[in-house]
Amino acid sequence: MMAIRPVLEIDALSLAAKSNKKLVDNVSFSLSKGETLGLVGESGSGKSLTLRAILGILPRGIEQVGGTVKNEERSAMVFQDPRGSLDPLCPVVKQLTEVVYYRQRLSRRASRKAALELLHMLGLPASLQTSDRYPSQLSGGQCQRVVIAMALACKPGILLCDEPTTALDVTVQKQIMETISALQVELGFAMVFVTHNLAIAAAMCSKLCVMKEGKIIEQGNTLSLLQNPQNPYTQMLMNSVLPVPELEGSD
């Protein structure tokens, strides 16, 4: 018997292009409240499509041909390219206020207040309160924080992250990862985290699914999967994480 009801259940999901080419084949996993699941794999393995299927925003020409997606809670997504997912012609506080206004159904004034609170929670400068800025006037890391704030403004039960740190520098990547983890503890959302970097997946996720060519070839608890990979492809992915030696006197 399941102790906790899963908030997201995907059962034998299959997606295909118009040409009948299977892009995602028989993918199943489930996610409980507050849990983080990592989807790892290389480009073209169907990670992002799986996420889009959960949100119901499949690209034109791709259809769900089988399986079910059951989500109990609202989901929101953070995309890889922060600049590309913000409106370049709208200042960020205004953009975020818009999302809060429509999703949380507050008054205009209360929406703005909630938006500023969210931005503060994500560690953006307080100066935004007095002078709103356009996405091009913020750094990549700051833009990604705004995007995460927008996703959180939907009060999601499930946060879908599609390579949220790939376009960022290592130091910023570390900050964003820490921010996401802290927010998860605070707000208790479940998370699906897509990445091609196993080291990041290992740090963020409790469960892992390794995808290749549209199929899940291995899944399980992160640590045991990495300690004892069964599939040669998983092994290959692990070997391709280039090691950086430990710093002396770092611990």
Partner 1 sequence: MGAALQVKNISVHYGGFTALDSINLDLPKHTTLGLVGESGSGKSTLARVIAGLVVPNEGQVLLGPELLKRKRSREQHKKIQMIFQNPDASLNPKHSIRQILSEALLFHRIVDRAQVGTRCKELLARVHMDESALDRYPHQFSGGQRQRIAIARALSVEPSVLIADEPTSALDVSVQRSVLDLFSKLKSELDLTLLFISHDLGVIHEISDTVAVMKQGRLVEINDKDQFFSRPETAYSRELLSAVPRMPNLKPSGGFHEPRT
CB of 199 to partner 1, least distance (A): 4
Contact pattern from residue 167 through residue 206 relative to partner 1, giving x for each residue in contact according to CB under 8 A and a dash for the rest: --xxxxxx--x------------------xxxxx-xx---
Give the full edge-to-edge strand order of the sheet including 8-17. 22-31, 8-17, 62-71
CB-nearer residue toward partner 1: 54 or 162: 162
Q: How many residues are recorded in the chain? A: 251
Matching residue, tokens 């960020």? 92
The answer to whether the beta carbons of residues 157 and 72 sit under 8 Å apart is yes
Q: Does 113 bind partner 1 (CB under 8 A)?
A: no
Q: Which stretch binds partner 1 (CB under 8 A): 1-9, 46-54, 124-132, 233-241?
A: 233-241
Which member of 87, 223, 231, 235 binds partner 1 (CB under 8 A)?
223
Judged by CB under 8 A, the number of residues near partner 1 is: 34
245 counts as binding partner 1 under rule CB under 8 A: yes
Picking from 112, 134, 138, the residue whose alpha carbon sits closest to that of residue 125 is: 138
- Contact status, residue 80 vs residue 47, Cβ threshold 8 Å: no
Contact yes or no for 210/41 (Cβ under 8 A): yes
Residues at the interface with partner 1 (CB under 8 A): 42-43, 140, 169-174, 177, 196-200, 202-203, 223, 226-227, 236-248, 250
